[in-house]
Structures are given as structure tokens and as C-alpha cells.
Structure 1
Amino acid sequence: MNEKRGLEAAAAGDGRPEAKRSRPPALASVIVEALKVDSLQRLCSSLEPILRRVVSEEVERALGKLGPAAITGRSSPKRIEGPGGRNLQLQFRTRLSLPLFTGGKVEGEQGAAIHVVLLDTGNGCVVSSGLESSSKLDIVVLEGDFNNEDEEGWTEEEFDSHIVKEREGKRPIITGDIQVTLKEGVGTIGEFTFTDNSSWIRSRKFRLGLKIASGFCEGVRIREAKTEAFMVKDHRGELYKKHYPPALKDEVWRLEKIGKDGSFHKRLNKSGILTVEDFLRLVVRDPQKLRTILGSGMSNKMWDSLVEHAKTCVLSGKYYIYYSDENRTAGAIFNDLYAFCGLISGEQFYSSESLDDGQKILLMGW
């Protein structure tokens, strides 16, 4: 009877050795390499916050050297005269990560920091010197239908008249770091969150805006900045969010096309498929059975999207060895989804890619 034991490896991917080596490595070498990967992964995790800060600082420096055409490709907005005839404008340089939920951190796409700049629209360059380049800015919330035309200018009074105030009895709409100070014309917004959703205003959407804070650049007209319009949903909606990527232990409805408590979700649960890991294991072992469980309501297109999303899941790095006899002279290695990865014979490892069809057929007969 086959024996099973777990072989731990912490590789973030599938951890498979390279195919068709001239001399397969000893099992001990495979384990040493896996431990090296584990140490490297832990090192990367500890360095991540430091690297994010360094990248943020480098982006700020780079933005200070580049004009809008080099980064956004947008045409210049209507000019507004500043000191010396310059046309100064604030601008967001990072798109927001959507959707937004109350209580959730506001950040850029893919978790990036949100960068802002002060531009001289006459030459397309960041204003990196002078009093204006070190101004303090206020972050405000605007009505979503404010100035839908990007090329259309506005006055300071028009901008201020579209700032959204909190509802009676409610907290300020945004809380946290709601000011940012420019350094050589470039700034990075800190952490802040929305406390209220956008469903109660006419457009049902907000925009973020930037304006010069009181006491800075008085008498100088600097055009305010605004983002695209977006919805802010109540945080309860976040409970139903899909995960990108999903985790092995996530409930299966976190996958695309599987609605929480919907028919597909109920069918899967009834068949014992409760987690993303359960789903992926059946994809590996018997995808046709899985399709039968889901039923005819799952179209080919939906199935492809579902499986594609599920396969973005990061595996745990755990492996299993199944020996053919009690002497443990040979064993088959499978990952945590029970996908075949290779063969150990004696002290040598053979990756699945290095085995010919005959060897694989023989293996299936174990």
C-alpha cells in the first residue's frame, strides 16, 4: 500500500526542476535549492516596505524631470495666468485603484502611491523652483459631475462651489492625511480613507480634487486638479469582493463567475468543493466532473474565465511523495494540488518534463 509524507518547500511558484538535464541532481541538492528559495522569499518579504519607499522617492524625482507629454500624453488644458505670465496647474499623475469602499485605503493602481505635480503648462515642465514648488495642498472631495470636459477651464469659485461637504451628523467625508506638501513641484499623498459612500449625491459619484492650501501662493492663480469620477461603495460591499489573486484557503465564491450563495456556489458546496484549493484539485484530477457539477448554466466562456482566475492562485510550496513500495526505492512527487511534478529514484530526481510517455504510463500503473 502506498505511503504518503509531506515534503515542504516554500517556492512561490510550482518549484519544478528544469526539464531534461544531462545528469539529474541528487535529492539532497533539490532540497537545498528549495531552502535557498525559501530564504530568498523571506528576505524579499522583509525588504518589500523599504523597496516601496525607495521606488516612491525615485518616482518623485523622475516626475520632477518629465513633462506631461512624456507621462500622460494628455493635451494641455486651458491656460491660466500665474506669476510672470506662467500658466500653473496641479495635476494627479497616478490613476486610482477602483472600486473604492468606505474605510478602505485610497491608493493608486496596483497599490502604487498617488503622486501629484505642479506644472507650467506653457512648457509642459514640472515647476521645481520658486515658492510655488513647495506649496501645501488640500485634498478635497468634488461632485462627480463637476467639469466633465477635460479641456474646459474653471474659476477658483466654481471649483470651490462643487466641493462636497459631509452630511449632517456625519464625519468628514475623508479622514487621514488630507494635505500634501510639494517638494520641488512633486508630492506624494499619504494614507486616507472615505467615511461615506457616494450614493446620496446627484451623480452618485465623487472626484478627488487638489487645491492650494490657505496661506500659500496668495494672489497667484494656480489651477486645481481633479481625478476621474468614481463611485465609493459601503464597506459591506467589500465582503463580496473577488480576490486577485485568490488564496488557496479562500472560499470558492471568491472566484470569478461564482456568486456568493448563488446556484454555482451551492452546487460546488454540495459536492464538497468549499475552497479555491478544492476547486483547483478537481481541475487537475477531473475537470469534466467539475463541469458536470456546475451544470449547463456554466458556458464555455464563463468556464475559461473561472479556471484562468483560479490558476492565478499562489501555491503553498508543499509537495507530497508517494512511494511504490515499503523500501522507498522510487516515489512520485505531486504538488499541493496533486499535479504530478516528477519522480525520485534512489537519490535522483527526474522532472515530469524529462520523463517519456512510456515512463509516465508505467507510473500511472503504480
Structure 2
Amino acid sequence: MSMKRQSQDDSKSTLDAGSSEDKRRRSLPSFSSVITEVMNMSKVQHFMEPVLEPLIRKVVKEEVELALRKYMTTIKRNCGKDVFACELRSLKLKFLDLISPPVFTGTRIEGEESSLKVALVDVLTGEVVCSGPESCAKVEIVVLEGDFDGDDGDNWTADEFKNNIVREREGKKPLLTGDAFLYLKEGIGWVSDISFTDNSSWTRSRKFRLGARLVDSFEGISVREAKTESFIVRDHRGELYKKHHPPSLSDEVWRLEKIGKDGAFHRRLSKERVNTVKDFLTLLYLDPTRLRNVLGTGMSTKMWEVTVEHARTCLLDKKVYLYYTSVSGPKTGVVFNIVGQVMGLFPDCQFVSADKLSETQKACIHNKYEQICFIDLFFFFIYQS
């Protein structure tokens, strides 16, 4: 009896298992139906994408803008005036010229091209502010430490600028003399006749800068100060003895390098009536050996080369002189410039420049004409001057 019941139970279990398997198989989609469904979904996505994407972007944009407006409203409510400080119009002063070196005490400060100019510039656009009340503002010129600089060379606070202003030494006159204030006109102002009363050797960097700051203030506008490049200021007495580059013909001979005013070389040249750069060049071209002997052994070969090179940088006029050596027979003229330098020959009414002369012709000039040219021309040039 029990064996029969067990047999019935086993067969029932087998039937149940078979029916479950059949149901699972019927519930699974076929491969072809899966492919068809994927293709249909792809078509829907391709069709809906151009419609949904702009709509989604618009919704996201509106939500972001709304969130930003709420955030800014909250900030303004909590911070009050601090927010408006962030919304100031940003301007800056700017020097439009480089300072022309060298700078001496008591000498007017100039720009490299003309008078020193200051402009009011919009920080964002870089353009000069030529309208509005700020374009006519009052500006003060101050002296700054030569090593004053911002974090990146163009970024500093008003306090940092103020703390780097240089004042005169105790017992001295104000560091700047003249009118240190100017008014902008259409955003640009010209620095008037100002000069230093003291040199820069006593400062920590041994240099100065000029600074410019706005005296007037305008609500809703922040203006950053300006500064020049650093430069050395020397005492005025240094200008009295400085060399000229290039020298001029009328300069006193001690303006040449290696010849000091009232020094040994200067005194020796004066005894030989070589008082100007023109005299020096004339003797150099007519009789260089004599000039070298006048200066003596105290002037080394290196010093001699430096002096001569400096003298030759002198700017000469275009006047030339023609000298004939004989009255009878074929005439051959020698052409000289204002300082006696041979420019060429004039044989048979045809000019031959010095660079085209043969070695024989050059030797002829130096041998045949040397003494007579020196005697006649040297005194002729003295008479002409």
C-alpha cells in the first residue's frame, strides 16, 4: 500500500516539474522578438531625441538661473555693502612713456619720446577713459621705492602702494620739486616740470620709481595706482662731467672717453690748441702720430682705441674741401671733409672716392701731400672755425 502511494507521488512530482519547465519556456521571449523590440526602441529614440533634448536643456537652464537668482538674493541680504564692492567698475592709472635716462637731480624728468604722460584706463577693455567725471580727475605724482612690486608685477593693494612711498631724508627738501599734481583731460594728463632734489643712492634698492595715484574718489569706481620702471637718480654734478654719446664737433675735448676734465690728457691737448672734438679729429686724420705723442705714454693702447672710437662717432656735416697741390702742370686735387679726413682724389676733373683708390694712390696721398696738407689745412680749419 505504501509502495503504491510512493509511486503515485513520484509520478505527480514528475508531472509538476514538466509543467513548470513548459511554463518557463513559454514565458521567455524568442530571439526574433527581442531583435524586433530593440529595433523599435532605437527608432523611437531616434525620433524623440531632437524633440526631447531642447526641452530638457531649456528646463535645466531655467532651473539653474532660478537657483542663481535665489543664491544672489540671499548673499545680498546677508552681506549688504560687501556685494556692491564686488560690482565696482575697475579702472587703473598707467604711465604711457618710459623715463628717459639718465636722470639727474635738478633736471626735468622727461619721457623717452616727449613729456611724461599718465592715462586712466579701463581694466577690462584696456581703453583710455575719455568721458565721465573720472576722465578729468586730479592725479598726484609720488616717489616710490625702486624695488616696489606686486605679487605678479601689476597687483598690489592701496596700503602696499602707500607704504612704499619714499619721503625726503631728515633735514632735506621735499624729494620732488615742481608741480606734483596734474588734471586729466579726456583721460590723459601731462606731468609738468618736476625734478628730484636728492639722489637715490641712500635707498634700500638705490633706485626710485615714479608713482601716480588718484586724488579724487568716485562712488562705484575703484582706481588702481600706476608706477614706472625703476631708475637711478644721480647728483647734478655728475651731469656736468658726463660724456656725450655721440659727441658733437663743438664739444670740449674732455667730453671724449678717457679724457678727464682738467686732467693730464686735457692739459696736454690744450697746450697744443686741441680744445674741441673737431680739433681732436682734425689732428687725428692729418697727423695721428703727433696726436698720440701729445697724449703720451700715460694713455695706454686700449685707452687710445676707446678715445679714438668715441671721437669717430661724432656726427659731421656734409661740407667738403678741395685742395690742389700745384698751379702748373696737371692738377690733382685732394678732397677732405670738415675734419681733414681724405674723402678721395680729383684727378683730371673726375672724382675717385677713397674706398676706390689703389694702394699706390693712397701711398701718394700720405707721402707726397702729408706735410703740405698738415701745414696748410690745419691752419685753414682753425681759421674757418
Distance 1:113 1:361 in 2: 53
Q: Equivalent pairs: percent with the same residue?
A: 49
CA-CA distance at 1:105 after TM superposition? 1.6
Distance 1:295 1:133 in 2: 65
Greater relative contact order: 1 or 2 (C-alpha under 8 angstroms, separation 6 or more)? 1
Matches within 5 A, 1:1-366: 85-109=88-112, 112-147=114-149, 150-151=152-153, 153-168=155-170, 170-213=172-215, 215-217=216-218, 220-260=221-261, 273-285=274-286, 287=288, 293=295, 295=297, 298=300, 300=302, 305-326=306-327, 331-343=333-345, 348=349, 350-353=351-354, 356-357=357-358, 365-366=368-369
Helix, strand or coil: the match of 1:184? coil
Tell me if the contact between 2:344 and 2:357 (Cα under 8 Å) persists in the aligned partners: no
Tell me if the contact between 1:143 and 1:206 (Cα under 8 Å) persists in the aligned partners: yes
Distance 2:85 2:335 in 1: 70
Distance 2:220 2:248 in 1: 54
- TM-score normalised by L of structure 1: 0.63
Amino acid at match of 1:126: V
CA-CA distance at 1:254 after TM superposition? 1.6
Q: Which has the higher mean CA deviation after the structures are superposed, 269-278 or 130-139? A: 269-278
CA-CA distance at 1:90 after TM superposition? 1.1
Distance 1:240 1:98 in 2: 16
Amino acid at match of 2:226: A
Q: Which runs of 5+ in 1 are unaligned?
A: 1-80
Tell me if the contact between 1:142 and 1:163 (Cα under 8 Å) persists in the aligned partners: yes
CA-CA distance at 1:233 after TM superposition? 1.8
Alpha-carbon distance change, 229 to 254 in structure 1, aligned in 2, over 3 angstroms: same
CA-based RMSD of the aligned residues comes to 3.6
- TM-score normalised by L of structure 2: 0.60
Alpha-carbon distance change, 218 to 199 in structure 1, aligned in 2, over 3 angstroms: farther
Alpha-carbon distance change, 341 to 132 in structure 1, aligned in 2, over 3 angstroms: same
Distance 2:321 2:365 in 1: 15
Tell me if the contact between 1:171 and 1:195 (Cα under 8 Å) persists in the aligned partners: yes
Amino acid at match of 1:151: G
Distance 2:338 2:152 in 1: 51
Distance 1:207 1:250 in 2: 32
Q: Which runs of 5+ in 2 are unaligned?
A: 1-83, 370-385
Tell me if the contact between 2:103 and 2:233 (Cα under 8 Å) persists in the aligned partners: yes
Amino acid at match of 2:93: L
Tell me if the contact between 1:268 and 1:294 (Cα under 8 Å) persists in the aligned partners: no
Distance 1:276 1:245 in 2: 11
State the structure with more CA Rg.
2
CA-CA distance at 1:350 after TM superposition? 1.8
Alpha-carbon distance change, 139 to 294 in structure 1, aligned in 2, over 3 angstroms: farther
Alpha-carbon distance change, 120 to 317 in structure 1, aligned in 2, over 3 angstroms: same
CA-CA distance at 1:102 after TM superposition? 1.1
Alpha-carbon distance change, 354 to 263 in structure 1, aligned in 2, over 3 angstroms: closer
Query: Larger helix proportion, structure 1 or 2?
Result: 2
Distance 2:305 2:150 in 1: 37
